[in-house]
Amino acid sequence: MRIIPHFSAEGLSNVYIISDNKRNGILVDPAQVDKDTLDMIESYCDNLVAVLITHKHQSHTAGLGTLLKIYNPTVYAFEGIINGYKTEQFKDGEVKRIGDVDVKALHIPGHSIDSLVYLIESALFTGDTLLSGSIATCGSFVERALLIRSIEMKLMCLDDSTLLYPGHGAPSKLRIEKMLNQDLLQFESENRAFTSP
């Protein structure tokens, strides 16, 4: 399996193309479909079989319409419709066989109610949920607490060497985030201060 990151100037997002051992292509978050994106799909994949949407914000989905005019992949998301296109829905913890890989979806609400993180082998595609050094922005303290709780319950239990491919910024590993993610460290310290006698 190969994972090819591509920086989209639209929303400063990362688009990922996953090419499995049979050269089936999976695209994560079609933020922008430009010539480079198409060149990468053509270079690394024989057949684009799926699009995974981490959440419905435009900085991660704006290129979906263009992509669907060219290819015929199945679109996977938490919600049933993205930008007017029907999707195949993922539930929390559900595993689907896509191409030659198993894709597991983890529902991590907080940044948006439909935020999914996809686990493929040992690679996590986190969208805006967990970034290198920070977590997503949230609309309220409640959503932030929900987000952190979900991250701790569903992501931090994974192996330290799990690779992290966020929707924005540099890649990382879970070990690095456990040690150095400022938002998680701050929440932990606040929580400790709040609960200690």
Contact residues: another protein, CB under 8 A: 1-5, 7, 12, 36, 39-40, 43-44, 121-123, 132-133, 159-161, 163, 169-173, 175-176, 179-180, 182
Residue 80 CB, shortest distance to another protein, in Å, is 31
From the CB of 31, what's the least distance to another protein, in Å?
14
User: Which pair of tokens denotes residue 147?
Assistant: 């987000």
Closest to another protein by CB, 17 or 82: 17
CB of 197: closest distance to another protein in angstroms? 28
For residues 188 and 194, give the distance between their C-alpha atoms in angstroms, rounded to a whole number: 10
Please identify, using beta-carbon distances, which residue of 15 and 77 lies nearer to another protein. 15
The residue written with tokens 């540099």 in the block is: 170
Distance of CA 195 to the CA centre of its chain: 32
Single-letter amino acid, residue 187: F
Report in angstroms how near the CB of residue 100 gets to another protein at its nearest: 13
**Based on CB atoms, which residue is closest to another protein, 42 or 152?**
42
Alpha-carbon span 34 to 31, nearest angstrom? 10
CB 163 to another protein: min, Å: 8
Of 145 and 185, CB closest to another protein: 185
Closer Cβ to another protein, 22 or 175, answer by number: 175
**SS3 of 105, please?**
strand
Residue with smaller CB distance to another protein, 36 or 88: 36
What span, in angstroms and rounded, lies between the C-alpha atoms of 110 and 184? 14
- Rounded to the nearest whole angstrom, what is the least distance from the CB of residue 73 to another protein in the complex? 20
Map residue 130 onto helix, strand or coil.
Answer: strand
Angstrom distance (rounded) from CA 178 to CA 23: 33
Give the dihedral of Cα atoms 91, 166, 175, 188; nearest 10 deg: -80
